[in-house]
Amino acid sequence: MVRMQYRTLGRTGIKVSAYGLGALMFATSIGNSDPDDSARIIHKALDAGINLIDTADVYGDSEEIVGRALKGRRDNVVLATKVSRPIGDDPNQQGASRRWIMTAVENSLRRLRTDHIDLYQIHRPDPATDVEETLSALSDLIRSGKVRAIGTSAMPASDIVEAQWVAERRGLERFRTDQPPYSLLNRGIEREVLPAAQRYGMGTLVWGPLGQGLLTGQVRKGRQNELRRAGLLKHVNDEHRIEVVERFISLAEEAGLPLTHLAMAFAIAHPGVTSAIAGPRTMSHLDDLLAGVDVALTDDILDRIDAIVPPGTDVGTLDQAYVPPALQQVSLRRRPLGERAAA
């Protein structure tokens, strides 16, 4: 019998399951091509006690599939979606401006077949928009009843602090959650992001707890090309990450656990983590996740994990990790040639 844990989402008072259901793989163009099968997966997850569903406007037809599946069950779900990543080629159909947020939320509400969103998140930071502009628009959505709480995704710690200060000084609603990547392979958020979120009473919904598939047990040293040809994983190109995965496979075997159970139990063990969002594509994927909800790691196992990947460190880089403009744009890290010569 599955015994789901529930935790309070920051200081919102909202109770969410320790395992969240990510809806990326329900999009027919990305994951499961059968919407009816995706609906069955959603229903089984809800029956098992998962009450948090996380999707995004950029996930193809995911919002529509989730909206249809929740008919008659909407009131029992903490429904989260996101805005800011590009929708098409229009330069104004992206980002965190008031103009786009006000349009995008109406589109999401329509696709989700609901009159409110429980958690509306800025999918990636938007350095081109003043955070006060973003918070002002989101505050209006909360006051109108269309949104219950607001959050961010992959926001650096310094931006989290700035947003909290702006909200306090301007009398605006504040970000209540962040959704960063976190797994056995990627622990960088332990250094600053999780402490900052805890300092401000924010809930943390971590994505990628299975390392984008690397921590499923399928990925073994020497099999990367085989997996790529089968279309199972397209980003298995870091040999060091594969070596580390092999060490975790051995640790899981010694602990008598499937690697997926070790990975998920680790992701929710940190006191700063509210829920770990996993995105099953098939019913068997969900069944495996549900079979591990009771797993709690001992201090000895957590110590051995620390020995493989030290706290606060990452092994390689996720292919969907947020890269700030200061690293992406050469012009932001190099003085003009004339200034360099003068110096």
Give catalytic status of residue 19 as yes or no: no
Cβ(241)–Cβ(172) below 8 Å: no
Which of 59, 120, 182, 200 is flagged as catalytic? 59
Find, among 208, 148, 157, 159, the residue nearest to 183 by Cα: 208
Cβ(46)–Cβ(77) below 8 Å: yes
Find, among 249, 311, 298, 266, the residue nearest to 18 by Cα: 266
Alpha carbons 304 and 174: distance in angstroms, whole number: 38
Q: Which residues of 222-243 are buried (b: 16+ CB within 10 A; e: fewer)?
A: eebeebeeeeebeebebeebbe
Active site residues: 59
